[in-house]
Amino acid sequence: MVKRFRKPDTVEAYNAAGFRERYAMENGNKSTVYLNGHKCYKFTYSKDVDYQDANGALYDTVEKRWRA
């Protein structure tokens, strides 16, 4: 599924992701947020979906890791 993501930082996020983060990336909408000066991607999807564990997953592009 990584072919869907073309930007290098998004591909890097997908490769570093676990199941819950990959679910959010594949099924959610990406938005950019800034936390402590770091650019982060936030993935959210509908609250109607039964699986809510991954809703709101954050990837820090500066530290190159998923945030809790």
Taking only Cα atoms into account, the Rg of the chain, rounded to an integer number of angstroms, comes to: 11
User: Which pLDDT tens digits describe the chain residue by residue (68 residues)?
Assistant: 556 888 999 999 999 999 999 999 999 999 999 999 999 999 999 999 899 999 999 999 999 999 97
pTM: 0.87
pLDDT of residue 56: 93
Of 52, 36, 12, nearest in space to 44 by CA: 52
The partner residues of 39 in beta bridges, in order of sequence, read: 34
Q: What is the pLDDT of residue 2?
A: 57
**Do 14 and 43 form a contact (C-beta atoms < 8 A)?**
no
